[in-house]
């Protein structure tokens, strides 16, 4: 149970995995053009196909 207390301190990797999600998009090559807009456009295309259905 003592491991549960240091879990948050020893669990800096999992917590960072969620943060890198946005950072990865910014570092991504596709996002080089537009981090938020570029990623949104790509996602919109996928949604457009689903909307057509």
pTM for the predicted model, two decimal places: 0.17
* CA gap 40, 48 in Å, rounded: 12
Task: Provide the residue-wise pLDDT of the chain in tens; the chain has 53 residues.
Answer: 555 555 555 555 555 555 556 666 666 665 445 445 545 455 555 555 555 55
* CA gap 20, 50 in Å, rounded: 28
pLDDT of 31: 44
* CA gap 15, 33 in Å, rounded: 27
Provide the 10 A C-beta neighbour count for residue 20: 11
Q: How many CA atoms lie within 13 A of 41 on its CB side?
A: 7
Tokens of 27: 């570092």
pLDDT of 26: 66
* CA gap 27, 37 in Å, rounded: 14
């Amino acid at each position: 149970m003592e491991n549960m207390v240091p879990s948050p301190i020893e669990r800096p990797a999992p917590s960072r995995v969620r943060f890198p999600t946005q950072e990865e998009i910014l570092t991504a090559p596709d996002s080089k053009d537009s981090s938020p807009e570029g990623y949104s456009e790509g996602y919109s295309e996928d949604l457009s196909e689903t909307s057509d259905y």
